[in-house]
Amino acid sequence: MLRIILTRHGETLWNIEGRVQGFLDSPLTEKGKIQARLLGKRLKKEGITKIYSSDLARAKGTANIIRDELGLPEILLNEALRELHFGEWEGKVWWDLRQKHAELFSIWDTGPHQVQIPGGETMEEVSERAWNFIQALRKKHTNETICLVTHGMTLQLVVKRALGIPLAQWENVPWQHNTAVNIFEFHKDGTIQPILLADHSHLEEDMQPSGGINKKE
Q: Of these residues, 83, 90, 121, 217, which one is catalytic?
A: 83
Write the CA distances from 177 to 45, 80, 87, 181, integer angstroms. 22, 20, 23, 9
Instruction: Identify whether 187 is a catalytic site residue.
Output: no
User: Checking phi first, is residue 98 left (phi over 0); if not, alpha (psi -120 to 50) or beta?
Assistant: alpha
- Sequence-ordered list of residues with C-beta below 8 angstroms from that of 147, at least 6 positions apart, any chain: 4, 5, 6, 7, 43, 46, 48, 50, 51, 52, 63, 66
DSSP 36-53: HHHHHHHGGGG-EEEEEE
How many contiguous H segments (helices) and E segments (strands) does the chain have? 7, 6
Q: Distance (Å, rounded) from C-alpha 85 to C-alpha 124?
A: 12
Instruction: Identify whether 90 is a catalytic site residue.
Output: no
Positions annotated as catalytic residues are 9, 83
